[in-house]
Structure 1
Amino acid sequence: MTEYDITETLDVKGENCPMPVVKTKQAIDGLAGGDVLEVVATDSGSMSDLGGWADTTEGVELLEQEEGDGVYKHYVQVTE
């Protein structure tokens, strides 16, 4: 795992699609350029959902995703 300077952590454990993406977007809207949001989820679909969202959303970059013990971590950086 790469270490990031995490600005904020968003806990969406127990939430299913589309809530992890919806809440990630809301959290990202409150951050500034260069900030990194860590999203912690238990929905396995969040791996593809957040990846797809980041690919189609201007101003964000999905830095990394991790999976372990039923927990999925996503690191999203604001690029603008």
Structure 2
Amino acid sequence: MPSGSIPVLTTVMSEVAVSQALRDALDARAQRKADWMSLESHLLHALRPEMERLTTELVRASLLEAWRKHANGLD
């Protein structure tokens, strides 16, 4: 952990007061974050068929088991 106080900006800095290199670095970081976060939609899209298949199997197996228990109680 850094020691000392953390400076707080109390006035808005003009864009020219920030170096182009820093602006480029911040823009690149923001783009990397956006790219990383876009993985969510890609992953969900790719996994949706598998999630639906697994859900269908789970529902079928659960209902079959519930029917077996119910049918055994009728005997």
Q: Which structure dedicates a bigger proportion of its chain to helix? A: 2
The answer, yes or no, to whether TM exceeds 0.5 is: no
TM-score normalized with structure 2 length = 0.24
Q: Which has the higher contact order (CA 8 A, sep 6+)?
A: 1
Specify the structure having the higher radius of gyration (Cα). Answer: 2
Higher strand share: 1
